[in-house]
Amino acid sequence: MTLLFRAAAVLAAVLVAGTAVPAGSTAAVSADLLNGHNWSQFAGARPTSSGVVITPLDRWITATEGARLQPNPPVNLAGPRLDVSGDFQVDATLSGVDGKAAYFQLYGKVPVIYDEWRQEPPSVRTGIVGGKLQIAVWDGKSDKAAETKTFGSGLSGDVSLSIRRSGGSVKVFVGGEQLGSVSERGVFGAGTVWFGADAAVGGGWTLRALTASGSAKVVDAPAWKQQPSSSSLRAKAAGLSRPIGIGTAVASGPLVSDDGYRAIAGREFTVLTPENDMKPQFVQPSRGVYAFAEADMLVDFARANDMAVHAHTLVWFEALPSWMRSASDKKTVMLDHIKTVAGHFKGRVAEWDVVNEPINEDNSDGLEHNLWHQAMGADYIPQAFRAARAADPNAVLYLNEYGAEQDGGRWDALYKLVKKLRADGVPIDGVGLQNHEYEKGDRTPPETFRKHVRALAALGLKVRISEMDVVSGGDTTMQAKEFAGKLAVCRDEPNCTTFGAWGFTDRYGSTADAGKYPVGPGDALPWDKSLTPKKAVTSLLAELR
């Protein structure tokens, strides 16, 4: 019987709030955080009868050109967390610790991924590194730890850690003996604790026991099903004579940690696109090492709310793990990735962006000469589509591109490409036109967009507005008009299946001024940073009547 289903855990599901941890001793009231709680959707973890096995992911956020920017260790988003109101203690038994580093981390908030940057939240990480106890503290003001200290020696095998928050400090005990202490630095000021664990490459260990005590209570992941509304975008779109999908990109961290974000996502939309969690650097961080936990969680949310999943993306030249860029056998890498990833989600996603952003109108062949093109030439595109069809015969397969909603070289190159793919019998079903409007010159007249939709219809292709956002610069009336104009075209053209935005709230939008603390919110999406609907929402609703 696995940890997830042991009935004994029910008896310890809730801590007694307000029970303080006496100085120098372990509180009598404690709760088991392993048994009866979800550790099966924690990336790099595998629940067993003897504990949760932690394997190294070596997962990083990478730059466009492939350089490693930031570590991206996993957090158990779908598992238990703590609500804390004062002093508390977490006791963990790390089993099988060898010469490789083993890390156990308490997060005060969950990380938020802004495309190619991870906003590092406040956290305390304890590690057994080179036989010593290492304590690192992030204060939510930088990507780097604000403080790192090392204590003790000779730690290996089974290590019993006690992490105690007490009077503004974090004290760490090993085998009942205090080895180190650091300033808390406000890590737990938000009143929550989330759990993370990782291991150095070549290592691995088992979380054999995990309990908590003190002024805290255990909280499991929220219910996925959200309250529907007859006045929502999705309800109005369903009432059209030809219903269309209303889509959005969704981020896994906020989906769990932000109740308002979760409610809007489930209430307003019928199509969910994972913003980051299906990109290669997330799902295959090391060769042959797959991490589907966060993406599976998004699929579960979508299914609970009767949403289709538009999966993004199988083949791109960005968001790649560094090993994928340096591999000498690019064709094998690409085809194996498609087979495994599309196969994993077979029957659970409706659509795939198979190839993302292959166009470069400045090259004579109209294609971006990315790493896949350099290895295989233009043939990488039909090979990718055929591999995706073989992996999931029922998924609708899209090519996704930016800037091609406008007249000009990008549109001409895209049209030429997809026309040839269709003529050659390549199993491409549709084209995603992103509709990013960052500057005035990005705005496309609706009739130009309609002309392109119809041209693709003549080739037998579906079209979806895949990633629309409109930087307003404070002009919310213009923003509302731009959103409404594209939706009206999609509503009217029979081959346009979905109107999709790249997120829905400025609180987590990809146009945020990221890379700094605090993040400067963008202003490109229909809901503002307070989750209040803007004029754009009103204009979209008006087009769905």
Active-site residues, by number, are: 357, 467
Distance CA 356, CA 541 (A): 30
Q: What is the largest CA-CA distance in the chain?
A: 76
Q: Cα–Cα distances in Å, from 184 out to 18, 108, 166, 198?
A: 20, 11, 9, 21
How many CB atoms within 10 Å of residue 259? 12
Q: Alpha carbon 281 to chain centroid distance?
A: 11
Distance CA 364, CA 33 (A): 59
Distance CA 428, CA 352 (A): 10
In order, the DSSP letters of 256-281 are HH-HHHHHHHHHH-SEEEESSTTSHH
Distance CA 76, CA 48 (A): 16
Contact 89, 214 (CB under 8 A): yes
Distance CA 488, CA 535 (A): 16
Contact 142, 517 (CB under 8 A): yes
Placement of tokens 């959103």 in the chain: 483
Helix, strand, coil percent content, the chain, rounded in steps of 5 = 25, 30, 40
Distance CA 269, CA 520 (A): 26
Distance CA 102, CA 307 (A): 38
Distance CA 118, CA 332 (A): 30
Query: Taking Cα atoms as reference points, which of 343, 332, 262 lies closest to residue 297?
Result: 262
- For the record, the structure tokens of 1 come out as 């019987």
Helix (H, G, I), strand (E, B) or coil at 268: helix
Residues with Cβ within 8 Å of residue 329, at least 6 apart in sequence: none
Rounded to 5 degrees, φ, ψ at 227 are -70, 120
